[in-house]
Amino acid sequence: MHLIYLNIEKLLPGGIKMKLSEIDHNLAVQSTLDIKGLKYRNALQEPFAIYGLYRAGESGQYMRLPAEAAEKVSPGVLSLSTHTAGGRVRFRTDSDYVAVKVRLRDAHWMPHMPLTGSHGLDLYVYDGMQDLYQGSFIPPVEHPESYESVVRFPDARMREITIHMPLYSGIAELFIGVDENAQLEPGRKYRDIKPVLYYGSSITQGGCASRPGNHYPAAIAREINADFLCLGFSGNARGEKEMTEYLAGIDASVFVCDYDHNMPDSKTLEETHSKVYSTYRAAHPKTPVIFVSRPDIRLYEQEDILRRDVVYQTYRNALKDGDRNVYFIDGYQLFAGNRRDDCTLDGTHPNDLGFFRMAEVIGEMVRRCLAGNS
Amino acid sequence: MHLIYLNIEKLLPGGIKMKLSEIDHNLAVQSTLDIKGLKYRNALQEPFAIYGLYRAGESGQYMRLPAEAAEKVSPGVLSLSTHTAGGRVRFRTDSDYVAVKVRLRDAHWMPHMPLTGSHGLDLYVYDGMQDLYQGSFIPPVEHPESYESVVRFPDARMREITIHMPLYSGIAELFIGVDENAQLEPGRKYRDIKPVLYYGSSITQGGCASRPGNHYPAAIAREINADFLCLGFSGNARGEKEMTEYLAGIDASVFVCDYDHNMPDSKTLEETHSKVYSTYRAAHPKTPVIFVSRPDIRLYEQEDILRRDVVYQTYRNALKDGDRNVYFIDGYQLFAGNRRDDCTLDGTHPNDLGFFRMAEVIGEMVRRCLAGNS
């Protein structure tokens, strides 16, 4: 796709909410942290590499899909396209701390998701085998839309860093700070395959993980060392024709179609679900597609069972048509294990226990797909 | 203990923050919920039974320990004594919904804990084998200090209900609403043993569970069908002489001494830790005591290892003195398993994955103690 990078601010309902300042890279970014020698750099510049967003370095905007594509889908998707769910920054440094200075597009409170998940960032360090959680950049309750925070390490050796961006908020500006004398280099790359693509609703966007690194696609990415693109749209995954076509334009290693919740009923789900698949399949004849039904299925509700049947039917029809690269995960199994009902905090949205189990189940299937196709 | 029930409002710093209204039980409690036939009753009245609080029915106050005892310990403990961590209401009804109308003592935002955990309540239903999560009473972000909310059931058969109270907030008034024509009766009792006693810091108080039912003592209580008393005091578990004596006054089936974090260093921990044990043991020669060190131990920090040694030493000394009812859990093992570093959201406080694992490990030990002693 060849796109001009429209300024998302001009497209959002209500016009420009927050002026995106022109960043003068020659000016030092001010810090209120009391750290001598702290030097900030814009995360959009090298040696930082951004993952999970749409060409952030080129467009200068933190978007999950281009504004002109999102605008065609729905106002909801346009607005949520700025949320940085799945967005990451990677680099390596021998600084004994990493600071961030972030300005978000807005601050909004949710009763069932802490700011650490919705507006916070967290940091992982590669230990030679896997990326391990090291600390969180926690938004202050007084002004979660704009803050500085630091994660410190016990010493100053070279580390491979991954920072996850907020799940339910958009980034206007992000600066990453290390000691002015520290080395700062391009970070570790994921293995050389296309990203794993996730499409779905609020759960797929990360509601309600306690922090971004515990969202299930992020956890799977760490387990399999593969990049991903998280197209979860809270309340707005409706399999629109325009979204279906946009998805079909994405070259992925695996397509996890975790799309169910946001259609009003099983009938409207049926009208769109198979088209999401067939459109994607037409563009990508061999890419594995994993269909996932919703985890919060009520087994006593006929309508919930019908919805699962819709998802299953897309899978069965594909198999019948000779497609050998389709897979099905019964959402009810996502929370399997002791205390399965404790996997959500409101009957729908997974907490970190629920997301852990989703990562285990879906991750196993993604790994299986990659083993056969990468 | 014979105590006059002092009004906590008179003791709190800053005086009376919020007037506790006189409740006229003859007046119907107003509801803004659009539910025909909804009738509220005060949770302090029969047939409701309150667990995990200090004689709430008699005192008319939702307190974890009496104000005059809390006042002697510290201003922090006095303030936190109003937080209802571990508080529960039990009853049975054949209403096809349960509503709550709650007025909290105050509203405060934490960046790393959602309102569903700090200010919310959740509801469990006994299925004949165990209590299962059914839904949450979610505080609205606009006014989390005072709200109504309803959890609905698929039908109107008799159900055994347990409602958990907020972990990081105090209840001024709580009304429980069911259909005016529904049966409402005393709920199921726990098995006939003394409560399990937990003493500790913010983690023990429930920071940062996504909702009260996922806090580890609540989860253990469900697994073993035993009542409990949660004396976790965020930032204020310092093993003070007065707290030590108060703990010794509690007749428990098991004493889980999960107290480590809030002492400034290993030396001050050492000065108090063994006294918490010896004072308790003098009053209760046979009650099993489980010592737990902190889960967020940094294995490279000498000071963290010294702290664990203090906890271990209390245990070793007790054994040496012939005490056969002491147990030790290395906190590092509490998060054991895949992705152990993902068990907290800030390096210290467990998320629901961390609390799940704590409940598994500590619960196994509590069950073992009860099997040998109940």
pLDDT digits (tens, 9 = 90+) for A169-210: 999 999 999 999 999 999 999 999 999 999 999 999 999 999
Token output for A17: 């909410």
Mean pLDDT for B170-186 is 98
Mean pLDDT for A74-96 is 97
Q: Is residue B24 part of a domain?
A: no
Is residue B137 very low, low, confident or very high in pLDDT (cuts 50, 70, 90)? very high
Domain boundary among B166, B186, B206: B186
**In angstroms, what separates the C-alpha of B55 from chain A's closest C-alpha?**
29
**Would you call B351 and A352 a contact, using CB atoms and an 8 Å cutoff?**
yes
Task: Please give the distance of CA A303 from its chain centroid, rounded to a whole number.
Answer: 29
Domain identity same for B165 and B111: yes
Distance CA(B326)–CA(A101), nearest Å, equals 48
Q: Is residue B20 part of a domain?
A: no
Domain identity same for B232 and B349: yes
Total residues belonging to chain B: 374
pLDDT value at position B9? 56
Domain identity same for B128 and B249: no
Average pLDDT taken over every residue of chain B:
92
pLDDT value at position B27? 52
Average pLDDT taken over every residue of chain A:
92
Which residues 6+ apart lie within 8 Å of A134 measured at CB? A123, A124, A125, A151, A153, B341, B347
The tally of CA atoms less than 13 A away on the side-chain side of residue A122 is: 30
Q: Which residues pair with B184 in a beta bridge?
A: B93
pLDDT value at position A268? 92
Residue burial A176-194, b: 16+ Cβ < 10 Å; e: rest: bbbbeebebeebeebeebb
Burial class (CB in 10 A: 0-12, 13-18, 19+), A286: exposed
Place of tokens 């994921």: A190
Q: Where are the beta strands (DSSP E) in B220-314?
A: 228-232, 254-258, 289-292
The DSSP string of B5-21 is ---HHHHSTTS-SS--P
Which residues on chain B place their C-beta less than 8 Å from a C-beta of chain A?
109-117, 120, 132-136, 138-141, 144, 154, 208, 210-211, 213-214, 219, 298, 300-301, 338-339, 341-342, 344-347, 351-356, 360
pLDDT value at position A2? 39
Task: Inform me whether the pLDDT recorded for A3 exceeds 70.
Answer: no
Burial class (CB in 10 A: 0-12, 13-18, 19+), A14: exposed
* A157 and A219 Cβ atoms separated by less than 8 Å: no
Domain identity same for A93 and A205: no
Domain identity same for B300 and B215: yes
Q: Is residue B3 part of a domain?
A: no
Domain identity same for A308 and A219: yes
CATH of the domain at A45: 2.60.120.260
Q: Is residue A50 part of a domain?
A: yes
pLDDT value at position A245? 98
pLDDT value at position A57? 86
Q: Is residue B30 part of a domain?
A: no
- pLDDT more than 90, % of chain B: 86
CA closest to B353 among chain A residues: A353
Mean pLDDT for B316-338 is 97
**In angstroms, what separates the C-alpha of B298 from chain A's closest C-alpha?**
10
Which residues 6+ apart lie within 8 Å of B22 measured at CB? none
Domain identity same for A108 and A242: no
Mean pLDDT for B311-319 is 97
**Would you call B300 and A154 a contact, using CB atoms and an 8 Å cutoff?**
yes
Distance CA(A21)–CA(A13), nearest Å, equals 20
Domain boundary among A186, A217, A250: A186
Domain identity same for A77 and A223: no
Domain identity same for A16 and A102: yes
3-state secondary structure chain A: CCCCCCCHHHHCCCCCCCCCCCCCCCCCCCCCCCCCCEEEEECCCCCCEEECCCCHHHHCCCCCCCHHHHHHHCHHHHHHCCECCCCEEEEEECCCEEEEEEEECCCCCECCECHHHHCCEEEEEECCCCEEEEEEECCCCCCCCEEEEEEECCCCCCEEEEEECCCCCEEEEEEEEEECCCCEEECCCCCCCCCEEEEECHHHHCCCCCCHHHCHHHHHHHHHCCCEEEEECCCCCCCCHHHHHHHHCCCCCEEEEECCCCCCCHHHHHHHHHHHHHHHHHHCCCCCEEEECCCCCCCCCHHHHHHHHHHHHHHHHHHHCCCCCEEEECHHHHHCCCCHHHHECCCCCECHHHHHHHHHHHHHHHHHHHHHHC
pLDDT value at position A32? 86
Which of A15-29, A39-53, A312-326, B58-72 has the weakest average pLDDT?
A15-29
Q: What is the largest CA-CA distance in chain A?
A: 65
pLDDT value at position A50? 97
Which residues 6+ apart lie within 8 Å of A2 measured at CB? none
The tally of CA atoms less than 13 A away on the side-chain side of residue A99 is: 22
Which residues 6+ apart lie within 8 Å of A174 measured at CB? A42, A43, A44, A62, A89, A100, A101, A102, A103, A165
Distance CA(B327)–CA(B277), nearest Å, equals 12
Which of A54-58, B12-16, B252-256, B283-287 has the weakest average pLDDT?
B12-16
Report chain A's C-alpha Rg in angstroms: 20
Task: Inform me whether the pLDDT recorded for B3 exceeds 80.
Answer: no
Q: Is residue B152 part of a domain?
A: yes
Q: Closest to A133 (Cβ–Cβ): which among B111, B144, B341?
A: B341
Q: One-letter amino acid identity for A189?
A: K
Query: Phi and psi for B246 in degrees, rounded to 5?
Result: -65, -45
Query: Phi and psi for A9 in degrees, rounded to 5?
Result: -60, -35
Q: Is residue B126 part of a domain?
A: yes
Q: Closest to B219 (Cβ–Cβ): which among A114, A339, A356?
A: A339
**Would you call B140 and A111 a contact, using CB atoms and an 8 Å cutoff?**
yes
Q: How crowded is residue B107: how many other Cβ atoms within 10 Å of its Cβ?
A: 16
Q: Closest to B345 (Cβ–Cβ): which among A116, A341, A346?
A: A116
* A131 and A125 Cβ atoms separated by less than 8 Å: yes
* B70 and B6 Cβ atoms separated by less than 8 Å: no
Is residue B201 very low, low, confident or very high in pLDDT (cuts 50, 70, 90)? very high
**Residues of chain B contacting residue A98, judged by C-beta atoms under 8 Å apart:** none
Distance CA(A118)–CA(A100), nearest Å, equals 16
**Would you call B210 and A351 a contact, using CB atoms and an 8 Å cutoff?**
yes
Residues of the domain holding A142: 8-186
Q: What is the DSSP letter of B29?
A: P
Query: Number of A:B CB contacts under 8 A?
Result: 134
Is residue A17 very low, low, confident or very high in pLDDT (cuts 50, 70, 90)? very low
Domain boundary among A186, A204, A228: A186
**Would you call A136 and B347 a contact, using CB atoms and an 8 Å cutoff?**
yes
**Residues of chain B contacting residue A109, judged by C-beta atoms under 8 Å apart:** 109, 141
Which of A15-24, B170-179, B270-279, B338-347 has the weakest average pLDDT?
A15-24
**Would you call B339 and A120 a contact, using CB atoms and an 8 Å cutoff?**
no
Q: Closest to B341 (Cβ–Cβ): which among A120, A132, A347?
A: A132
Q: Closest to A345 (Cβ–Cβ): which among B211, B298, B354?
A: B211
Mean pLDDT for A263-286 is 95
CA closest to B341 among chain A residues: A133
Task: Inform me whether the pLDDT recorded for A1 exceeds 90.
Answer: no
Domain identity same for B346 and B218: yes
Question: How many independent structural domains does chain A possess?
Answer: 2
Helix (H) or strand (E) holding B281: helix B266-283
Domain identity same for B236 and B337: yes
Query: Phi and psi for A43 in degrees, rounded to 5?
Result: -65, -15
Q: Is residue B31 part of a domain?
A: no
Task: Inform me whether the pLDDT recorded for B146 exceeds 70.
Answer: yes
**Would you call A111 and B141 a contact, using CB atoms and an 8 Å cutoff?**
yes
Q: What is the DSSP letter of B317?
A: H
**Would you call B345 and A352 a contact, using CB atoms and an 8 Å cutoff?**
yes
**Would you call B116 and A339 a contact, using CB atoms and an 8 Å cutoff?**
no
Q: How crowded is residue B189: how many other Cβ atoms within 10 Å of its Cβ?
A: 11
CATH of the domain at B269: 3.40.50.1110
pLDDT value at position A5? 54
Helix (H) or strand (E) holding B72: helix B67-73
**Would you call A116 and B111 a contact, using CB atoms and an 8 Å cutoff?**
yes
**Would you call A111 and B300 a contact, using CB atoms and an 8 Å cutoff?**
no
Task: Inform me whether the pLDDT recorded for A21 exceeds 80.
Answer: no
Distance CA(A98)–CA(A80), nearest Å, equals 28
- Does ipTM surpass 0.85 in this model? yes
**Would you call A351 and B352 a contact, using CB atoms and an 8 Å cutoff?**
yes
Domain identity same for A109 and A214: no
CA closest to B222 among chain A residues: A339
**Residues of chain A contacting residue B352, judged by C-beta atoms under 8 Å apart:** 210, 342, 345, 351-354
pLDDT digits (tens, 9 = 90+) for A136-178: 999 999 999 999 999 999 999 999 999 999 999 999 999 999 9
